[in-house]
A and B are shown apart, each in its own frame.
Chain A
Amino acid sequence: MKNWLLLMSFFVSFAIHADDNNSYLPKAKAGTKCVEDRQIMRTNHMDLILHQRDKTMRDGKRDGRHSLKECINCHVTKNDKNEYPNIDSSQHFCNSCHTYVAVKTDCFSCHRSIPENKQVKK
């Protein structure tokens, strides 16, 4: 039993750290630091933005730290063609990981998927 647990924990930690070296995840804007620790964001980002969306929309409090807008402003950066990637592209920060884990995002049927005041080149 103990050995089995040890083996499982090895696989879990491997799975968590494996993608650190993967190149598919686009880099965030240079010189910026995430509002939370990387592991917290990886496991809880959906809860953080879910909590803040109700505060923003229903209470009108727009000064929180965990806004989708700020995620996009930092994380969606230009690709190798000097263009902002489309949300369907694997070069888009959100989509790159969500395709990898096969979890569909529904945020961007309504929300802007690239930083404010920027254009997707076509």
Chain B
Amino acid sequence: MNKLNRREFIKKTTNTAAISILPGVFLQTVNAKGADVKNRWGMLIDTRGCGDCKNECITACHSEHAVKSFDRPQTDSQWIRKVTVKNRKTSHTMALPIMCQHCEKPACVDVCPTGASFKRVDGIVLVDRHICIGCRYCMMACPYKARNFVHENLSEQNTISPRGKGTVEACTMCVHRIDKDGAKAKTACQQACPKNSIIFGDLNDKNSGISKKLKAMGARQIRADLNLNPAVLYQGLDL
């Protein structure tokens, strides 16, 4: 009978172990897409086209995420709101769409008692509805009033966007599309805007379309004084 000495035994067992483990490690690295700390996803919205549009972004968002109206405007969810503001001195009015601003320092995450409000490593702020208890602290804390509480029993949600009664929800920046296509992704609102006023992209990547446009033309954050550093930036906010 062939006797293995200690060295040969260790060599053979290590090789066998490596052969059986390697494919798993390889598959893991190939499939390991998803949220990446290198990215900081954001949106740039040119509000100069918003005044006379037909709210295409809102319709597209609500159809993507199966947000339906129950004819109760006080409690119906609004993932994007079109807000009209007026300068009292000049009487000039302008409209802008407001959704979750995906802040770098989100107040909703700070106040959440269960950890349901969280920020992904790529900067997207989401609600984990599995542990959301519906306390609505985050809705109180959000200076943009971007979050909604679901008051009604829901059915036939879209698979990509689970949502239900008793939990809080907001814009996810179409995270399912980002996880699939990365920087090439387009959000539903961006795709629907007839004036191409919404640009989605990586704020950390100097060569992305959004970064180039920001460098060339600049933009503003709403309530920048709060230092939350939102990832949604606006152009044409001058009243």
Contacts and interface: CB of A to CB of B under 8 A. Distances in A.
Where chain B touches its partner, the secondary structure class is: loop
Interface in A44-75: 53, 55, 57-63, 69, 72
Contact of A60 (B33, B128, B153, B159): B33
A59 B129 contact: no
Interface residues of A, number: 21
B164 A61 contact: no
A53 B130 contact: yes
Given A53-B130, A114-B156, A59 B34 contact: yes
Q: Of residues A58, A87, A110, which shows the largest number of chain B Cβ atoms within 10 Å of its Cβ?
A: A110
Contacts of B34: 55, 59-62
A63 B164 contact: no
A58 B120 contact: yes
B163 A63 contact: no
A64 to B, nearest CB: 9
A116 B159 CA distance: 6
A53 B128 CA distance: 10
A69 B122 CA distance: 24
Interface string B197-236: 0000000000000000000000000000000000000000
A58 to B, nearest CB: 7
The 4 closest A-B pairs by CB, nearest first: A110-B164, A60-B34, A60-B35, A61-B34
